[in-house]
Amino acid sequence: MARTPRTRQGVILIEAVVAIGVLAVIFTSALSLFTRSLIGVRSSSDQIVATYLAQDAAEYLLAKVAANKRVGDDRWADDLDGCDDGAVCSIDTTSPISAFSLTPCVGPACDLQLDSSGKYRPNGSGSITTSFRRTVEVTLTDTNGDGANDEAYVHIVVSWESGAAGGSVPLTFTVYGYEV
């Protein structure tokens, strides 16, 4: 049976609609994969920044302990007691070691902001709000019973909220007064 030009036009129209449908499915799938990969990149980026912020706080705290140790062996834990006994504090790692302080904070007061030079600072001392929050807890202990603290258990957590996702990076270590 021979096709007439009119039937051939109908077949071409159906083929075009099917081809457009197939292309739409392929394009939607590719767009979905692209969106998921962007979310993954953002999540990885946030985790890298959070890890850096936790490490930054740890190194700053250890530098303070080392500076105290140079003053005298019994002074190694000076200024660490502001966050003792379960208090949660923030730490400004951009200030000089001589101005070290652990400042008690609750909720948004622990949030980090970016200042004009691109440094992360505790809430109120920067100009750009970020999704990061850094908390520091220090527990001083007297393990040998001589009345002086000889260990500091440090727990740093950097957490963030990013849309529906978020996460946290915990960093825990012990500082021994006799090893600094």
Which tens digit of pLDDT belongs to each residue from 36-88? 777 776 778 888 999 999 999 999 999 998 888 888 767 788 888 777 777 89
Q: What is the pLDDT of residue 159?
A: 94
Which residues does 138 contact at the CB level (< 8 Å), separation at least 6? 61, 80, 81, 82, 83, 84, 89, 102, 152, 153, 154, 155
Q: Is the pLDDT of residue 175 over 60?
A: yes
Helix, strand, or coil here: 54? Answer: helix
Q: What is the pLDDT of residue 174?
A: 92
Q: Is the pLDDT of residue 2 over 70?
A: no
Which residues does 126 contact at the CB level (< 8 Å), separation at least 6? 112, 113, 114, 115, 119, 120
Q: What is the pLDDT of residue 78?
A: 83
Mean residue pLDDT across the chain? 84
Nearest C-alpha neighbor of 155 from the set 130, 136, 169, 142:
136
Query: What b/e readout covers 63-82, taking b as 16+ CB neighbours within 10 angstroms?
Result: ebbebbbeeeeeebbebbee
Number of C-beta neighbours around residue 52 at 10 A: 13
Q: What is the pLDDT of residue 53?
A: 95
Mean pLDDT for 123-146 is 84
Q: What is the pLDDT of residue 180?
A: 47
Tokens describing residue 179: 């090893």
Mean pLDDT for 117-145 is 85
- Report how far residue 50's alpha carbon sits from residue 135's, in angstroms, rounded to the nearest whole number: 12
Is 162 or 91 the better-scoring residue by pLDDT?
A: 91
User: Which residue type is seen at 162?
Assistant: S
Is 2 or 109 the better-scoring residue by pLDDT?
A: 109
| Whole-number CA gyration radius for the chain | 28
Q: Is the pLDDT of residue 20 over 80?
A: yes
